[in-house]
């Protein structure tokens, strides 16, 4: 869907055989989060933004801007494919973990 381009920064990790990206769960799979393993709960991210997202350094706001949690500053606009329905409830859940409404 994204041809391995990060939905946050748009960069693509090129390797010898193919491009590389990571599937990041918005709401974590295991306990206590119990997020579903579905496309609506997934983002295509580069390794750096996957770590930042999982460690709550960045979050997605209601208007799909990507903000730095420490300052609230807008850093990116989340790239969304027309066929990729992202569940707002999961985004809201992640935002709450970040201490944001």
Question: Closest CB to Zn ion among 9 and 57?
Answer: 9
Rounded to whole angstroms, how far apart are CA atoms 40 and 88?
A: 9
Q: Which of 8, 26, 43, 60 binds Zn ion (CB under 5 A)?
A: 8
Kindly state the tokens that stand for 51. 């770590």
Q: Min. distance of Cβ 30 from Zn ion in angstroms?
A: 24
Stretch 23-82 residues interacting with Zn ion (CB under 5 A): 46, 49
- 77: phi then psi, degrees, rounded to nearest 5: -105, 125
Q: Which residue is nearest to Zn ion (CB)?
A: 6
Q: Tokens 């709450």 belong to which residue? A: 96
Q: Rounded to whole angstroms, how far apart are CA atoms 101 and 89? A: 12
Question: CB of 58: closest distance to Zn ion in angstroms?
Answer: 10
Question: Which chain residues interact with Zn ion by CB under 5 A?
Answer: 6, 8-9, 46, 49
């Amino acid at each position: 869907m994204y041809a391995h381009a990060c939905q946050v920064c748009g960069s693509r990790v090129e390797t010898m055989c193919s491009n590389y990206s990571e599937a990041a769960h918005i709401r974590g799979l295991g306990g206590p989060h119990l997020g579903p393993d579905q496309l609506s709960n997934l983002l295509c991210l580069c390794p750096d933004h996957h770590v930042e997202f999982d460690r709550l350094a960045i979050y997605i706001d209601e208007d799909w801007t990507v903000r730095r949690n420490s300052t609230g500053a807008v850093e990116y606009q989340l790239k969304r494919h027309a066929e990729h329905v992202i569940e707002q409830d999961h985004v809201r859940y992640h935002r709450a973990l970040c201490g944001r409404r």
